[in-house]
Amino acid sequence: MPKKRTPQEMSQDPAAQEMLIRAEELGISTAFSRADDMVSCNIGGAGMCCKLCGMGPCRLTKDGQTGVCGATIDTIQARNLIRAIAAGSAAHSDHGRDMAFTLKATANGETEGYIIRDIAKLRTVAAKYEIPIEGRAPEEIANDLADLYISQFGQQKGKIAPVIRATEKRQKLWEQHGVIPRGIDREVVEALHRTHIGDDQNPEHILEHAIRTALADGWGGSMIATDISDIIFGTPAPLLGQANLGVLKEDMVNVVVHGHEPTLSEMIVAASQDPEIIEYAKAAGANGVSLSGICCTANEILMRQGIPAAGNFLQQELAILTGSVEAMVVDVQCIMQALVSLADNFHTKIITTSPKVRITGATHMEFDEHRALTIAKDILRFAIDNYKNRGETHIPQVREDLVPGFSHEYINYMLGGSYRASFRPLNDAIMSGRIRGVAAVVGCNNPRSEHDFLHTHVVKELLKQDVLIVQTGCGAIASAKLGLLLGEAGLNQVGPGLREICETVGIPPVLHMGSCVDNTRILTVLTQMAQEGGLGDDVDQIPAVGLAPEWMSEKALAIGAYCVASGAYVIFGGSSPVSGMPDRVADSDIVARYISQGWEQLYGGKLEFIADPDEMIQKTLEHIDKKRAALGLPEYDQGRFGRSGDARMLELEALPLADRRQAVYGTSE
């Protein structure tokens, strides 16, 4: 029998624990309990099961064994990995495609409720592709940009346009290795073609195409999604938000938006503030409509509107368990099918909205950007009508403030102000050793590990080592719940050098950069840091590491692969999909070795799966220090900093006057 965990072992979050206890009392299953009941398959989990044709499935468990067709374990693992990367790239990119269509429709006045909000970003992005901007209306520019972006998906030859935003050196490297994506859809289709029975069988050759497919995501679909979301909904800048289940309201109609695309959730935000809707809610006996988000759609509206996040991936079911949610409105990705049967125990309505996603038993109210505001209002009225059916509620009174909104544009601005915005101060801080390096801690939750623990353990330990943290996705929400996204955390939870920076610039030590498609903002930051000078001339030389401690989705693998191809060392926690035979020595695992040492030789970045969080931290610091040494930077020494700012003032204040004079002026006179 598998081990049954206690709520405290399932999650470190007190709000989640409270709801897990409630689930148990009510006899309702959750992803946590199902993970306990369902032992994962270690053959499939390690990528050693091939079910690509009807001669199998072939489960390879012994060294030297092959599938019916003769496929080796290495070929099978490579094929499974590229298929996952292709699916992840497809998901992100299809989101990007829909954003591009929305931009086109908005530019042509065909949408309802959308405007081009960030004209400056529109012009900046368009100018990168030499789309004329001078003397043109925003709509004309947006129309051209939308056409360019839409064409990236079906393009057959050449290079996808956004790769020109990488460093010169990186572009040459990709060119040399033949991995620049030709068209976004083309690379995904080719990944499927190559892995059909009887096609590409050389693991390294398969994995080179995995790189090209992932690049089509990171420097293609995802980057397009981020650009357009900023153009239509505004580029994020810091604001105040809240996170955790305690944001749900006892006296209001709670509507939780869950999924990924900002197109619908932003319209629901607008609709919820409409006087007509507020009146309708009041007539139903509520004090209005309270919106909150789950997963990446939460991050989209949190970053731009300060709409609270009810939680991350593993809290979607827990939100419903509060009994206080009138409607959970979902679009695409990371939506558990279990929501519908779970909601049957309460009054909650699950509303699917994407033409791509239906869940049996859910209410479908299809979204269409041409009638966006009308549909958003219909959805809200439907939720309000359900308020009268609310039964007993149990909302954990746990929530934390946070300051999200760190787009790369804002980071650039905050470091230098309007007139001298640049990454210079950040590079200087790394060069001097005040900041030891940068870590991006991103990605999912996974019920196989303690919810939020791996994310926040890694973050907290790295902060003490003066590593500046940037986060997106569910990882960012995990840290938010612990108050790590507040300025105060920059004073008392970090090493002395990083504290000086947080204090001077006035930032939290963990910068929330957005949703998972917004990992492209991290690519941009790293590229601009390389271009700024002093940290080498390409991303692979920067003392930086990417981590996905609680990964579970195929999208995470796509992100990992494009970050590697962009030059980053990427560490995944949990289990490895390419771990191979238990009795094989690690080095004979061709795929695991290739994505680490092989890719490092080619791209300067590598992908590794490390289950132990302390080993993740140690490898991160080693890598950062290795990169510092290679750049000839001073060795990191925590003792050199921290004697400035508020802490120093307090220290001086405690001294007798003469000693204070001595310390400040070098004389007691």
Contact footprint for ligand NFS (CB under 6 A): 295-296, 312-313, 333-334, 443-444, 473-474, 516, 553, 555-556
Residue 495 CB, shortest distance to ligand NFS, in Å, is 27
CB nearer to ligand NFS: give 19 or 334. 334
Angle between helices 168-177 and 203-216 in degrees, nearest 10? 140
Q: Is the peptide bond before 496 cis (omega within 30 degrees of 0)?
A: no
Residue 10 CB, shortest distance to ligand NFS, in Å, is 17
Residue 312 CB, shortest distance to ligand NFS, in Å, is 6
Output the CA–CA distances (angstroms, integers) from residue 91 to 10, 52, 225, 247, 525, in the order listed: 28, 21, 11, 29, 23
* Residue 352, H or E segment: strand 349-352
Residue 37, SS3? helix
Residue 520 CB, shortest distance to ligand NFS, in Å, is 13
CB nearer to ligand NFS: give 291 or 415. 291
Q: What is the DSSP letter of 221?
A: I
CB nearer to ligand NFS: give 286 or 444. 444
Please name the residues in contact with 336: beta carbons below 8 A apart, sequence gap of 6 or more.
Answer: 31, 316, 317
- Which amino acid makes up residue 396? P
Residue 299 CB, shortest distance to ligand NFS, in Å, is 7
Please name the residues in contact with 525: beta carbons below 8 A apart, sequence gap of 6 or more.
Answer: 408, 411, 423, 470, 513
Region at 473 (left for phi over 0; alpha for psi -120 to 50; beta for the rest): left
Residue 555 CB, shortest distance to ligand NFS, in Å, is 4
Please name the residues in contact with 75: beta carbons below 8 A apart, sequence gap of 6 or more.
Answer: 201, 202, 203, 206
Residue 517 CB, shortest distance to ligand NFS, in Å, is 8
What is the sign, positive or negative, of the torsion defined by CA atoms of 36, 42, 46, 47? negative
Please name the residues in contact with 655: beta carbons below 8 A apart, sequence gap of 6 or more.
Answer: 663
Q: What is d(CA 74, CA 334) in angstroms, rounded to the nearest whole number?
A: 29
- Which amino acid makes up residue 618? Q
Residue 209 CB, shortest distance to ligand NFS, in Å, is 21
CB nearer to ligand NFS: give 125 or 474. 474
Indicate the residue whose CB is closest to ligand NFS.
Answer: 473
Residue 548, SS3? strand
- The answer to whether the CB of 526 falls within 8 A of the CB of 544 is yes
CB nearer to ligand NFS: give 143 or 407. 407
CB nearer to ligand NFS: give 330 or 383. 330
- The answer to whether the CB of 320 falls within 8 A of the CB of 298 is no
CB nearer to ligand NFS: give 203 or 293. 293
Q: What is d(CA 260, CA 613) in angstroms, rounded to the nearest whole number?
A: 28
Residue 369 CB, shortest distance to ligand NFS, in Å, is 22
Residue 125 CB, shortest distance to ligand NFS, in Å, is 23
Please name the residues in contact with 345: beta carbons below 8 A apart, sequence gap of 6 or more.
Answer: 26, 28
CB nearer to ligand NFS: give 214 or 296. 296
CB nearer to ligand NFS: give 194 or 260. 260
CB nearer to ligand NFS: give 443 or 497. 443
Buried-exposed string 440-450: b where 16+ CB fall within 10 A, e elsewhere = bbbbbbbbbbb
Residue 636 CB, shortest distance to ligand NFS, in Å, is 30
CB nearer to ligand NFS: give 50 or 214. 214
CB nearer to ligand NFS: give 289 or 469. 469
Residue 470 CB, shortest distance to ligand NFS, in Å, is 14
Buried-exposed string 327-353: b where 16+ CB fall within 10 A, e elsewhere = bbbbbbbbbbebbbebbeebbbbbbbb
Nearest in space to 462 (alpha carbons), one of 447, 481, 475: 475
Residue 295 CB, shortest distance to ligand NFS, in Å, is 3
Determine the Cα angle at 519 with ends 459 and 450, to 5°.
40
CB nearer to ligand NFS: give 206 or 556. 556
